[in-house]
Chains A and B, each alone.
Chain A
Amino acid sequence: MSGLSVNDVTKKFGSFAAVDRVQLDVPQGTFVCLLGPSGCGKTTLLRMIAGLEVPTSGAIVLDGQDITQVPTHKRNLGMVFQSLALFPHLSVGDNIAYALRIRSASKAAQKARVDELLTMIHLDGFADRPVAKLSGGQRQRVAIARALALSPKLFLLDEPLSALDAKLREAMQVELRQLQQQLGITTIVVTHDQREAMTMADLVVVMGQGKIRQAAPPIDIYRQPADSFVADFIGSTNLLELRADSTGRATIFGQPVAGLSLPDELTRAPLSVRPEDVHVTAPGHGTIDGTVTFVRDLGGTIETFVQVGDKTIVAVATPRERPDVKAGQSVGVSLPAASCVVLRS
């Protein structure tokens, strides 16, 4: 198979399994985001793919060749580190040319490739500048160019944008995605920022406690989260509990909900419904009734917090459909069955 396969890989540090029996197939040219909270094993997985850590068991296969035991410097990959790890004693051009110099490319070939890469990252004429004189965004680009100098088979990035401010980060996400599509290179990015993953990825891999919780295209992850961990991690969501009443009907807060059923004879299961799918209506007209505790009007969106039982349900509306409610008011909350996702616990 063309592409990268991670076959049943485990990495243990002492008795702690940082990565626990991970199975992942990445077709050639795919943009993958490894997403998860800190300590979920995503960086360890990336480092194993890079060869900077050796798996305790399992195999890593690139284009049909088992590279598990191949040392990093023979793997033909490009990697961008969280700290960027630009060589402080070298100029921008020498940083980018490092991989070419290691392979004893001619001076002319080095210069040509450096110029080509500098054009690609919009930093023409920066070759002779010291790295220390660059801004955060410029260093970022240089680190990317350096990693791509040899046109590697695999492009790995470990939280590459975390050092940038919010605005620049969003711009770089788009740029990185466009660059990846232009080059068609298999790319794996580690991030804890779900917006970043949604922006860039073809395939989002959500990890938790060393395991893959769900691997799917971004919109599927958002619309059909596999479990409450994924639902909670991707975007904000209302996590409610679906219960079976004495007659076997599915209920929320004791109210039967048409169109929903509990899977596999269970009596209770978590249920996720996105805030933008929740609508505030007049009392008695929704699925359940509750009391408004707070209204956060952000201009672009309006968030209404409704207390139902011991839970607070958040509804997000656009200004066009602005609900005319105040804190303390009784309202109905409508939860469309089509938007409710019953989760594995």
Chain B
Amino acid sequence: MRRERPQSFADYTPLFFPGLMLVVFFVVPFSTMIAVSFFRRDPTGFYTRDFVFDNYARFLSTFFGGVLGFSLLLAIGVAICCVLIAFPFTYLLTQRPRRVQTLWLVGLLSVLSLSEVIIGFAWSTLLSRTAGITNLFVWLGLMEAPVALLPSVWAVLIGMVYQALPYTILVLYPALIRLDPTLLEAARTLGASPVRAFLNVVTPALRNTLVATVIMVFVFALGSYLLPQILGRPQHWTLSVLITDQAIYQSNMPFAAAMAVFLVLISLALVGLTLMIGRRENAT
């Protein structure tokens, strides 16, 4: 179906409301943040209006560079783990009867009702030496003595994957349930085993969805700042933790703003790069 282009001014009116919301809740705060990132910090008070690059310059140190790199790697790790777990899981879920699917989805949705704090403390208990799952392994005879699995980068990763997994499944579910089941059957009649058919028919057919999901989880994981503090050591703290620290505890708003802007730019660049790679592969 061909759509007509908007002709008169009145045709644009439906755009006013979303436009207004976008300006009030995105453009204004974001511009403010960018502006503040160029202000000069006033150690005695808050900040003074100015136009300096000090805040950005300070960021370009090995320490902050390392934190940024770690944050990005962690987010990418979480995104990949989530999709690797959620994709086969959701696929198998869509093969079940409707009622089973509903039960699982309701269960997953209920995980979303848990706050980050609860998730963090639940995992810190589960991974602890005194009450954690290693006690179970000892009881089963798999281990000699219980050990503490945290604080560690793996604990952070597990907590964040747990938090992001329901979102991943809920994003993948509509695409998988709409996938034409005869595609898989066709592959089977052509001699492909079910696993092979899944790998070279379902996966490529949903590549764009998978890329979009990886990006979504990546962005979601980038904003996490409680779990790294609860489950990790200070060297596992992400940039989000440092931003919070600067903004709230050090009262250094300009520097926090500069870091935030930097984080946004880097994430946008990564997302753009992913999309570009996806498009190039599509073209071939």
A88 and B205 in contact, given A102-B192, A150-B191 (Cβ under 8 angstroms)? yes
In angstroms, Cα B186 to Cα A102, docked, is: 13
Of A78, A82, A90, the contact of B189 (CB 8 Å cutoff): A78
Of A73, A85, A87, A90, the contact of B191 (CB 8 Å cutoff): A73
Contact A52 B186 (CB under 8 A): no
Contact B185 A52 (CB under 8 A): yes
In angstroms, Cα B210 to Cα A238, docked, is: 58
In angstroms, Cα B190 to Cα A75, docked, is: 9
Contacts of B192 in A (CB 8 A): 73, 98, 102
Contacts of A52 in B (CB 8 A): 185, 188-189
Q: In the complex, which residue of chain A has the Cβ closest to the Cβ of B201?
A: A87
Q: Does B144 lie at the interface of the complex (its beta carbon under 8 Å from any beta carbon of A)?
A: no
In angstroms, Cα B186 to Cα A77, docked, is: 11
A89 and B205 in contact, given A81-B182, A83-B182, A102-B196 (Cβ under 8 angstroms)? yes
Contact B187 A98 (CB under 8 A): yes
Please encode chain B, from 224 to 262, with 1 for each CB lying within 8 Å of some chain A CB and 0 for all others. Answer: 000000000000000000000000000000000000000
Of A74, A83, A85, A89, the contact of B204 (CB 8 Å cutoff): A89
Q: Does B183 lie at the interface of the complex (its beta carbon under 8 Å from any beta carbon of A)?
A: yes
Contact B189 A50 (CB under 8 A): yes
Contacts of A88 in B (CB 8 A): 205
Which residues 82-99 of A sit at the B interface, judged by CB distance below 8 A?
Answer: 82-83, 85-90, 98-99
Q: How far is the CB of A48 from chain B (nearest CB, A)?
A: 13
In angstroms, Cα B183 to Cα A82, docked, is: 11
Q: Does B279 lie at the interface of the complex (its beta carbon under 8 Å from any beta carbon of A)?
A: no
A73 and B183 in contact, given A87-B205, A88-B205, A89-B207 (Cβ under 8 angstroms)? no
A73 and B188 in contact, given A83-B180, A87-B201, A89-B205 (Cβ under 8 angstroms)? yes
Q: In the complex, which residue of chain B has the Cβ closest to the Cβ of A89?
A: B204
A98 and B190 in contact, given A83-B180, A89-B205 (Cβ under 8 angstroms)? yes
A85 and B182 in contact, given A102-B196, A150-B191 (Cβ under 8 angstroms)? yes
Contact B180 A102 (CB under 8 A): no
Considering only CB atoms and an 8 Å cut-off, how many residues of chain A contact the other chain? Answer: 30
Q: In the complex, which residue of chain B has the Cβ closest to the Cβ of A156?
A: B189
Contact A79 B191 (CB under 8 A): no
A-B contact count (CB 8 A): 68
In angstroms, Cα B185 to Cα A87, docked, is: 11
In angstroms, Cα B202 to Cα A88, docked, is: 10
Contact B186 A85 (CB under 8 A): yes
Q: In the complex, which residue of chain B has the Cβ closest to the Cβ of A74?
A: B191
Of B189, B193, B196, B207, the contact of A79 (CB 8 Å cutoff): B189
In angstroms, Cα B187 to Cα A87, docked, is: 9
In angstroms, Cα B189 to Cα A74, docked, is: 8
In angstroms, Cα B207 to Cα A73, docked, is: 24
In angstroms, Cα B193 to Cα A75, docked, is: 12
Contacts of A98 in B (CB 8 A): 187, 190, 192
Contacts of A103 in B (CB 8 A): 191
Q: Does A146 lie at the interface of the complex (its beta carbon under 8 Å from any beta carbon of B)?
A: yes
A102 and B205 in contact, given A85-B180, A85-B183 (Cβ under 8 angstroms)? no
Contacts of B183 in A (CB 8 A): 85, 87
Q: How far is the CB of B53 from chain A (nearest CB, A)?
A: 47
Of B190, B193, B201, B205, the contact of A99 (CB 8 Å cutoff): B190
Write 25 A-B pairs (CB below 8 A) sorted by A numbering.
Answer: A50-B185, A51-B188, A52-B185, A52-B189, A71-B188, A73-B190, A73-B192, A73-B193, A76-B191, A78-B189, A79-B186, A81-B185, A82-B182, A83-B182, A85-B182, A85-B183, A87-B186, A88-B205, A99-B190, A99-B191, A102-B190, A102-B196, A103-B191, A146-B190, A150-B191
A interface, CB within 8 angstroms of B: 50-52, 71-79, 81-83, 85-90, 98-99, 102-103, 146-147, 149-150, 156
